Amino acid sequence: MPESFIPWLPLGEINRRHRAAFHAALDEVLDSEHVLFGQFLTRFETRMAELAGTRRFLGTASGLDAIALLLLAKNFPEGSEVLVPANSFVASALGVARAGHCPVPVDIDPVTGNLDPAEISRKATQRTRAVLAVHLHGIPAPMDGICREAAAQGIVVLEDAAQAHGATLHKRPCGSLGEGAAFSFYPGKNLGALADAGGIACDSEDLAGRIELWRNYGSREKYRHELPGWNSRLSELDAALLLAKCDALAPGNARRREIAKTYREGIRNQALRLPALPDDADPCWHLFPVLCPQRDALRTHLETRGIATLIHYPIPIHHQECFPKLHALKLPGAEEWCAQTLSIPLHPLLAESEVTRVLDALNSFRP
């Protein structure tokens, strides 16, 4: 074994670099005597609206809640269908279900790993109201085609931007490419909280107003409840801690892009393949996926060389136990993607020597 081990993500070390700012944020929140709906939430929502390129941003308790609340605020008829790519994290579909609607998993373009726009016209029915475009791994989905096909079917385009903090397409931020976008600040994200947290970006003031109601017990006036709302509020402390990390997002993403460029140029092994990128896309590289039919052997090969890996979303949505009615679906592109994808180390603290070691290990793999 090599002398040093390359972790997949040294989250503790990343957060320790913000220790002083975290302690200062905690003191400020305590001194403010506000734990909900105070200045830190306002400041964070303003900052995130700028990042997402939208007029409004509303904090929520999690990314799952963000998806569900966005759909509830759209006021679709109960039981509407929402198209979702089948190789996403299950929260993409669970958010649809929690809003009282029916997730319809659709296949992907196996070259990009993102939703295949042609699937929209194939799977849309009279009950379909929206497509949830997931920017998987922080790689922008092909929004030009998705928006074109959705418009032809008369359905709404929403974004699952949980992994796309700072990613852009045609120089427009992910989060501003549909009628609304859900974000997650799960600790391992490019901009991560110290617990679950999320939010919704949108331009419409009417939509933002409905989200504000849904996230706060359906209430805008104490003890008066206009909707059967939820308790899904981003606390002052969570907002303050996220604010403390915001300045590190852009340089962190820049470093991720440098490493991804090195990987994409340096991986020469014909047993491996990488996802193609849309034209004029600038991913934020939340994850760096490598696809290999012999994934388990590749993972073992890397581990014996002191390189940690993770397998993300090995079970497609339509095969999950929580959706038994979907098990009969055949979505070969998504199924192959889920069976072959391996995530290799990529984070802002990865040293050049470690990048070289990962590349050497990938290129030396023989199935």
3-class DSSP assignment, residue 245? helix
148 & 274 share domain: no
Q: Are residues 156 and 288 in the same domain?
A: no
* 82 close to 124: Cβ distance less than 8 angstroms: no
Q: What are phi and psi of 6, to 5 degrees?
A: -95, 105
Q: Which of 214, 246, 278 is the last residue of a domain?
A: 246
State the pLDDT at residue 1: 45
Would 137 be classed as within a structural domain? yes
| 3 belongs to a structural domain | no
Tokens representing residue 117 in the block: 């726009």
Q: Is 152 helix (H, G, I), strand (E, B) or coil?
A: helix
CATH assignment at residue 236: 3.40.640.10
End-of-domain residue from the set 226, 246, 266: 246
Mean pLDDT of the chain: 97
Q: Quote the pLDDT of residue 343.
A: 98
| Tens-place pLDDT, residues 39-62 | 999 999 999 999 999 999 999 999
Three-state SS annotation for 106-142: ECECCCCCCECCHHHHHHCCCCEEEEEEECHHHCCCC
Are 208 and 317 part of one and the same domain?
Answer: no
CATH number for the domain including 356? 3.90.1150.10
256 and 232 co-located in one domain: no
Let me know whether 140 and 42 are in one domain: yes
Task: Give the model's pLDDT for residue 33.
Answer: 87
If one counts the domains in the chain, the total is 2
- Is the pLDDT at 281 greater than 90, yes or no? yes
Alpha-carbon distance 40 to 195, whole Å? 17
Confidence class for position 206, pLDDT limits 50, 70, 90: very high
Looking at the structure, tell me whether residues 77 and 214 fall in a common domain: yes
Q: Is residue 2 part of a domain?
A: no
Kindly state whether residue 4 falls inside one of the protein's structural domains: no
User: What's the CA gap between 302 and 311, in Å, rounded?
Assistant: 13
Asked if 86 and 204 sit in the same domain, the reply is yes
- DSSP bridge pairs for 290: 342
pLDDT in tens, 100-132: 999 999 999 999 999 999 999 999 999 999 999
Question: What value does the mean pLDDT take over residues 242-266?
Answer: 98
Residue percentage of the chain with pLDDT more than 70: 99
169 secondary structure, DSSP code? E
Inside any domain, residue 7: no
The one-letter code for the residue type at 79 is G
In a domain, 63, yes or no: yes
Tens digits of residue pLDDT in 146-203: 999 999 999 999 999 999 999 999 999 999 999 999 999 999 999 999 999 999 999 9
- The last residue of one of the domains, among 219, 246, 273, is 246
pLDDT at 244 over 70: yes
Only one residue has tokens 């997402």, namely 52
One domain, residues 354 and 276: yes
| pLDDT at residue 204 is higher than 80 | yes
> Do 312 and 359 share a domain, yes or no?
yes
Cα 250 from Cα 253, distance rounded (Å): 5
42 and 169 both lie in a single domain: yes
Residue 8 lies in a domain: no
Structure tokens at 209: 């107003």
- Same domain, yes or no: 20 and 155: yes
pLDDT of residue 3: 63
Does residue 2 register a pLDDT over 60? no
Is 1 inside a domain boundary? Answer: no
The residue segments making up the domain with residue 234 are 13-106+113-246
Residues 154 and 81 in one domain: yes
